[in-house]
A and B are shown apart, each in its own frame.
Chain A
């Protein structure tokens, strides 16, 4: 009898040990320090900065000062770079374009505000978004900084669709109504955004798109919790550092996206706090892949989800080496959702394996450690596609309190010193093709 039991346990061990673990991953998890955010040309006295009043800006909050501000930007650009400083007033403006070498400095108590919806130039192509209030394309070594505010006047856009105020349920704006982002930088590099407050974006807030070498430091983003599609920061590119930020918004606080050519790599998110939005997400579009994401020392409060990786067949790709550590979640909807399905995860046993294509979501080497979370709906879900199971998820020192446990399906998860306190039902809801190794 003893022998049989021994053999039985040995067999179990063997089975557990030989289950597929495609990508070995001993994570290299030293995060390089934030690149310097000093802006060489800046000085407290704004010695060489250009004030758009020199080009006729009124800063009265009523006149559209775009022409004057743009002239100031262009004159700096022609000299190879410089700083345009906004101070002592409210600058109402239609879309501006930053250029190589030019930084926009907004001093404390100064606001750069978007013109109302009616005056905001719409895109000639009805399928395309209007230009962002502050945009740039193919530019490098530029940015936005200062203790001032950029206000997208989003309320004016939402009201046209019936929005009536903040403390109401979310109002979804139809996709046919194209709304501008607040800051949009496309195909750019070497960008610094620091110290500013970005608020009331009509839609996405800060989008460094296909842009490399970005440092976003001490930035505050405020959009009403019931505003629609108001992502906080949507980076796609290599070497993006987000540090010391506070993001309180209506959609993904951060949504890491894929680039046009090659995977998005090296995203570092540190020392930040997220309120009310949809959480820290990778996805839902990343056909070219996302690799090397490091999130450390993050607090979530009242967000719909905490850590989220989301995609869907046709729009996904490889997510490899995502690390989340030292995270506190208070009253989130779900702590962890890593799913090959979006927006909804089908019930267990219903989906069948499909052919693997370039847009198939493939997640591997996800390391989650040092998490304390209280979730109001459930601990979460780690649900891969039948044809593309999630490989190499490790939970270490994770504690989640929730009404229901963590659903695992088509995934391989290892846990160490991890506790899921599920009020109802099991810690782990183990559905088809789930492997849970507890140490």
Chain B
């Protein structure tokens, strides 16, 4: 009898271990910590002296407080303590603030190993750690060989002058053209002004500590007639840093790294951030005029490259200011590149958008600092018909969206490649229109996005999905979990079919079916204070948004949810605290389920 009991017990234990059912384990085994999953080195996240690791949380992670990193069998550090990025510093400050003690805790799951030898193989494992200090078993083992020491091509050797005045476009392009496979084009300390330059396969562009690569305000230095989509009607200037191919993937392996600054020279600087004076604040253009007198913050008053490029477009195209305004150059445009790595640099003040990636594949963004606040259209990073994004450790203080996904417009756009497979984690979003945005260009679909373990503070919107009748497509398969949101100016989560951007002058053949959002889960998040409905859904009668599920959300001091034309969606354990009125305003919706939701009203 005793034997039978033991056999049954062993079987149960095995069963539970295999299926991770901790709840059915006897108490003595409840403390087993699950190991992290899918340990890997993201695309190009290594060089001759460092290797960056990322890993996913296991299925059960609620008891995990840290991750230990082992190299060649030795403990070398942990994810919480050995991360000195600006994003991590701000994340720590956020949680040290006592007013954020109830904010959703986030878990760090990236690690940069430095001080390594070139051309050497290193093997890594990671173990999860619970609050008692107990470790999980090893994750899978990952072996990575560091790169050879690259041949360095210093732009100064090709005639570049770092005086902040000389135009170095030809010198820098000559350096790039001379750079051999696997080589590095080096921008040394100094201020190097440049017009449009063109990158190529198998190269690193490094902006050294103390270096600024400054976009020239001379609009003549940027080719014109750039079309985002071949069917776009508004042409623009090319960006400061470019690469292009129409055979996607035939340009590959581009790294843009360094501790220096790339500066788009877009707008005059208004001052510094009041709360964090280390952050520059650029003028936000207000392009109104009365009786031919321009508003003080009109682009033609406070713009730099923004102003000169618009003036050039007006003159060249014989058009008025409004038509010329969207044509300003952006910071980086890579088209058709496979394997892109952006690491460590600061990106500031673009005349238009920041880092644009079109039809690219496998883009890694590690620890970059985006300071574009409050530049008009100053998106941090855009992914357009893109496959594969891993973005972590990055700091966003942007004048427009932080991370924006786009997939074309209308009937022609629907034939493009879907924008898909993105993992956004361990980032600090501060100021921005939407921290994470899908749309408004949704024609070929935006899908498979995991956004987790981010802090979103002071953005206008947390997760924003926008489309319209005519754009078509939509966004689907999005998991937004374990994020802390605070001081959101408008909505924490918005899904809207009504969107208009007065800066978008493009016209296009409309899609057949209206754009829609579906199969989206938002869970384990806290939202502290919104100025508009915490959850807002604006579908249309012929385009419901559906299967959007909210679970385990604590919403404090937010505005009531406003839902219109939504179906087959659920709200589970959604807790409103400190709310004045009924938290739900629901119209024209069917198949909505509510479970374990509570409201704690204002006292």
* Chain A residues near B (Cβ < 8 Å): 22-28, 30-33, 35-40, 140-141, 143, 189-192, 212-215, 237-239, 262, 265-266, 292
Contact = CB atoms under 8 A, between A and B. Distances in A.
B19 interface: no
A266 B233 contact: no
A144 B201 CA distance: 22
A27 B200 CA distance: 28
Contacts of A266: 225, 227, 235
B238 A36 contact: no
Contacts of B246: 35, 141, 189-192, 213-215
B318 A24 contact: yes
24 contacts: A23-B318, A28-B220, A28-B316, A30-B196, A30-B220, A30-B222, A30-B224, A32-B198, A33-B198, A36-B244, A36-B247, A36-B250, A36-B251, A36-B336, A38-B245, A38-B251, A39-B247, A40-B248, A140-B415, A212-B231, A213-B246, A239-B227, A239-B230, A265-B227
B223 interface: yes
B223 A213 contact: no
A239 B312 CA distance: 21
Contacts of B221: 30
A37 B248 CA distance: 10
B315 interface: yes
Contacts of B201: 36, 38
A28 B224 contact: yes
A265 B318 CA distance: 17
Among B226, B233, B246, B336, find the residue whose CB has the most chain A CB atoms closer than 10 A: B246
B182 interface: no
Contact of A190 (B196, B222, B238, B247): B247
B183 interface: no
Contacts of A32: 196, 198, 223, 225-226, 238, 242, 244
Interface of chain B, main secondary structure = loop
Contacts of B231: 212, 238, 262
B249 interface: yes
Given A30-B196, A190-B246, A265-B225, A213 B316 contact: no
A26 B218 CA distance: 14
B483 to A, nearest CB: 35
A213 B227 CA distance: 10
Interface in B242-266: 242-252
A24 B315 contact: yes
9 tightest A-B contacts by CB? Answer: A212-B230, A36-B245, A38-B250, A40-B249, A190-B246, A28-B224, A32-B223, A40-B250, A30-B223
Interface residues of B, number: 37
A265 B238 contact: no
B251 A26 contact: no
A357 to B, nearest CB: 22
Contacts of B198: 32-33
Contact of A265 (B222, B235, B249): B235
Nearest to A266: B225
B247 A141 contact: yes
Given A30-B223, A32-B242, A36-B245, 19 more contacts: A22-B318, A25-B318, A26-B312, A28-B225, A36-B250, A36-B251, A37-B245, A38-B247, A40-B249, A40-B252, A189-B246, A190-B247, A212-B230, A212-B231, A213-B230, A214-B246, A265-B227, A265-B235, A292-B224
Among B247, B249, B252, B415, find the residue whose CB has the most chain A CB atoms closer than 10 A: B247
A433 to B, nearest CB: 22
Nearest to A241: B246
B225 to A, nearest CB: 5
B385 to A, nearest CB: 11
A213 B245 CA distance: 9
Contacts of B235: 265-266, 292
B508 to A, nearest CB: 10
B455 to A, nearest CB: 38
A26 B235 CA distance: 16
Nearest to B224: A28
Contacts of A36: 200-201, 243-245, 247, 250-251, 336
A25 B224 CA distance: 14
A189 B221 CA distance: 28
A26 B315 CA distance: 7
Nearest to A190: B246
A310 B446 CA distance: 45
B328 to A, nearest CB: 14
A23 B233 CA distance: 19
Nearest to A213: B246
A28 B238 CA distance: 12
Nearest to A214: B246
B223 A26 contact: no
Contacts of A189: 230, 246
Contacts of B226: 32
Contacts of B238: 32
Nearest to A192: B247
A140 B359 CA distance: 13
Interface in B193-240: 196, 198, 200-201, 219-227, 230-231, 233, 235, 238
Nearest to A263: B233
A36 B338 CA distance: 13
Nearest to A38: B250
Contacts of A143: 247
Nearest to B318: A23
A23 B314 CA distance: 11
A105 to B, nearest CB: 13
Nearest to B335: A35
A296 to B, nearest CB: 13
B325 to A, nearest CB: 17
B226 to A, nearest CB: 8
Among A33, A143, A191, A215, find the residue whose CB has the most chain B CB atoms closer than 10 A: A33
A141 B198 CA distance: 22
Contacts of A38: 201, 245, 247, 250-251
Contact of A35 (B219, B233, B245): B245
Among B220, B250, B315, find the residue whose CB has the most chain A CB atoms closer than 10 A: B250
A117 to B, nearest CB: 35
A292 B235 CA distance: 11
B506 to A, nearest CB: 11
A262 B233 contact: yes
B247 A40 contact: yes
A326 B196 CA distance: 23
B197 to A, nearest CB: 10
Contacts of A24: 315, 318
B236 to A, nearest CB: 11
B169 to A, nearest CB: 9
